[in-house]
Amino acid sequence: MDEADLNGFWSLCTGPFGCLDYELRGGSLTVHGLNMVGGNEDFAFRGRCRLDQGSLSATLHFKRHGQGGDDGTIFGPADADFHVHFMAEAISPHHFEGCFRRLGFADLRIVMKRIGRQNIGPLQI
């Protein structure tokens, strides 16, 4: 697997470790040339990832835009602008699993699955 294999549209679902798949909260992700852009109803994020022998990692810049309140978002009542470390391992070329890590918060499980593979243009981050 190389960086071109990552290009496309992905679902990116998150939740606490130990939760069942149906308890994960959904979002979306676009990858092009190792640039990542995505979000959900509470956050938008962007960053640049690295792929090394099936291990995908990135530092993502998150911006809160939703009205999640005290417990309505994956990171609770926190700053509107912060960074999260993303780490995931390839299960298949269309499926990664791993975690979001933010200092001061519990790690979150992530499941990333390919939605579509299209010839998309460069992402401006």
| pLDDT tens digit sequence for 6-49 | 999 999 999 999 988 888 888 999 999 899 999 988 889 999 99
Long-range own/partner contacts, residues 102-106 (CB < 8 A, 24 or more apart): 102/75, 105/75, 105/76, 105/78, 106/16, 106/17
Q: Sign of the CA dihedral 4, 96, 88, 66?
A: positive
Interatomic CA distance for residues 15 and 100, integer angstroms: 10
Q: The whole model's pTM is what?
A: 0.82
Which tens digit of pLDDT belongs to each residue from 67-118? Answer: 655 544 556 555 678 899 999 999 999 999 999 998 888 899 999 999 987 6
> What are the tokens at 100?
């979001």
Residue type, 41: E
Which candidate, 65, 66, 62, 68, places its Cα nearest to that of 81? 62
> What phi and psi, each to the nearest 5 degrees, are found at residue 3?
-60, -35
Q: What distance in Å separates the CA atoms of residue 24 and residue 26, rounded to the nearest whole number?
A: 6
60 vs 1, which has greater pLDDT? 60
